[in-house]
Structure 1
Amino acid sequence: MKIRTTGADRILDTIVYVLLLIGTVAALFPLFYVLAISFSTEREYLTRGFYVIPERFTLDGYLYLMTHPGFKKALLNAVIISAVGTFINIVLTTLMAYGLSKIWLKGRGILNFLVVFTMLFSGGMIPTYLVVNSLGLINSFWALWLSSAIIPFNLVVMRSFFRTVPVELEESARIDGSGEWRLLTTIILPLSMPAVATFTLFYLVNNWNTYFSAILYLNDNKLMPLQVFLRQMLIEDDPTISNASSVLYRYTPAAKMAAIIITAMPLLIAYPFFQKHFNKGVLLGSVKG
């Protein structure tokens, strides 16, 4: 059926498209500027002023970072923290959300209350640090992984998503002799891939951008992730900062911007693979509370 559009509708559509175009340009403009500087020479950056296309392309900033031992170690640490941490997050969140979605689970009401309670009130930074320290996890990646193993909001939404799965499917599987584990892995999870993919992306972003937890729980510079290294670049390149290290590195503007591009690139690459599940996962999980 063909839908008729009036002149007012076309004007409204034009306004919406113009606003979206302006918003897109405003969002991408800083990224293009940073990208241009990362391929520029220091002389061009200091003398030319503002530009988005460098006159002379150079990879000196990227090559410098790729030969910098601190950057390579920080990049490896970020990959390990993100990969292992996201795996732990999504496994624990999925298992707990699946259990709390079952009405036959004893103590389900109390557990759900405790989950929601942690969304409103947290133990605080110092008590959490004391717990992590008492467990001997300081200076270990486990301090990052376990202290944020489950985000309550993600758990609540995924629990709600599991409730949307038809009960008839579960009953049919149990009649065929399927146990809870097989039911979860062969029926529930395949139907819940939009939610799983959505929260995998959420956890991946959270782990990749780890900063405050890293400086709180990690004392060894060899364990620092990429976000902390970016901050360290500013400290080591600024002799006016009192806590700068005794060995100063010379970071050119191209090297700094190249570090930003390399840090942002993995998430920019990963997002398109999760995008098709993103909206569906969040909306379906929020229908039933």
Structure 2
Amino acid sequence: MHWPVNSIRDYSEERRLRLRESIGGKFFVTFIHIILILISLTCILPFLHLLALSVSSGHAVDLGQVLFWPVGLDFTVYNYFFENTPALRAFTNSVIITLGGTVLSMLATVLTAYPLSRRHLYARKPITMAALFTMLFGGGMIPTYLVMNSLHLINTYWALWFAGLISTYNMLIMKSYFESVPGEVAESAQIDGCGEVRLLLRIILPLSLPMLATLTLFYGVGYWNMFMSVILYINETSLQNLTVVVQGMLQIQGNFNMAAMDMMQQQEMVSEKLKAVGVVVMVVPMLAVYPFLQKYFVKGIMLGSIKG
């Protein structure tokens, strides 16, 4: 016996509302909200603590008086962080690496996932299995370095971009998303004379904006936080990104021009403040980008794509 789709949806909605209105349902919803709030606090409070440390006076930080609210506002450490260290140049390098790598990775992922999502592609399954194999077994660090060295890509950003150009996991997500687009959409476009390239650019990609935004954020965060690849392929300090530079500052704080400071200023530049500033500068750009992509995460992808 087959139930109408609308009847199933109405029954599910009625059951959900009945559960929420019951005493047990209200308790369950309240419990879930409390758990989510606690999880959110575990992410927010550490960042607030670091932010408060970075703008508090060195004396208050040294005495352990700073928790989640600044004590004695002092932005001196930010001035020295950008003026007397390679942080500003490293920040620019991080932006270049992130923007260039994200664009190239998204382009390569789309050009790989879309053909594999087309059922008429010859050897579609073997190619997909070969891509899946790379998730389990990699070429290794040394062979990859030798390949990059033979291509004369060491000390260039192309080594960073080519080494991780396509994430197999992201590619499979995109492939599955393309496959979820109803066949009626593609058939209608092809009847109107739409080719594969135009179908991808005018139909498939606009319908896939939530997925594209999500994978763009994944790639962007990965390139922004890139550390090991920069250590391997970038030897020139002038080309290193912010992650490597901040890590070096945390280990060797001699990167700061301490000779240019008097004793009072050196006391203000305590270790905890330096660490806090480095972490805040690394985290804030990603937090600033997220709100612009958030709307795509909850947007209905197939709403209105098929009429009738």
Q: TM-score, normalised by structure 2?
A: 0.83
Q: Does 1:264 align with 2:280?
A: no
| 1:139 pairs with 2:155 | yes
Quote how far apart the aligned CAs of 1:38 are.
Answer: 0.5
> One-letter code of the match for 2:90?
A
Equivalent residues in 2 for 1:228-239, closer than 5 Å: 228-237=244-253
Instruction: Indicate the residue corresponding to 1:118 in structure 2.
Output: 134
Equivalent of 1:5 in 13, 21, 25: 21
* Aligned-residue offset at 1:21: 2.1
Shift of 1:109: 2.3
1:273 corresponds to which of 292, 301, 306: 292
**For the residues of structure 2 that align with 1:69 and 1:21, how far apart are their CA atoms?**
38
- More moved, 11-20 vs 193-202: 11-20
Q: In the TM superposition, what are the counterparts of 1:176-215 in structure 2 within 5 Å?
A: 176-215=192-231
Letter in 1 for 2:63: T
Quick check: 2:250–2:274 contact (8 Å CA) kept in 1? no
1:64 and 2:83 correspond:
no
How far apart are the structure 2 equivalents of 1:128 and 1:280? 40
Superposed displacement of residue 54, structure 1: 2.4
Question: Which moved further from structure 2: 169-178 or 28-37?
Answer: 169-178
- Aligned identity (percent) is 39
Please say if 1:19 is aligned against 2:35: yes
Amino acid at match of 2:119: I
Report Cα offsets for 1:249-277 as digits up to 9, x if no partner. Answer: 44643333122111101111112222233
Greater mean alpha carbon deviation, residues 180-189 or residues 255-264 = 255-264
1:51 aligned residue (67, 70, 90): 67
* Farther off after superposition, 37-46 or 1-10: 1-10
Q: How does 1:159-174 map to 2 (within 5 A)?
A: 159-174=175-190
Contact 1:61 / 1:258 at 8 angstroms: preserved in 2? yes
Alignment gaps of 5+ in structure 2 = 1-13, 259-268, 302-308
Please, what is the CA RMSD of the aligned residues? 2.1
Q: Which residue, 248, 254, 268 being the options, matches 2:273?
A: 254
Task: Tell me how far 1:103 sits from its aligned partner.
Answer: 1.7
Q: Which amino acid aligns with 2:229?
A: S
The within-5 A match list for 1:57-136 is: 57-136=73-152
Q: Which runs of 5+ in 1 are unaligned?
A: 239-246, 283-289
Change (3 A) 1:171 1:7: closer
Match of 1:226 among 233, 242, 261: 242
Aligned match of 2:166: 150
Question: Per-residue deviation at 1:82?
Answer: 0.2
Q: Distance in 2 between matches of 1:236 and 1:48?
A: 23
Give the partner amino acid of 2:274: A
1:281, CA displacement in angstroms? Answer: 9.5
**Conserved 8 A contact 1:198-1:281:** no
CA distance in 1, matches of 2:236, 2:256: 18
SS for the counterpart of 1:137 is coil
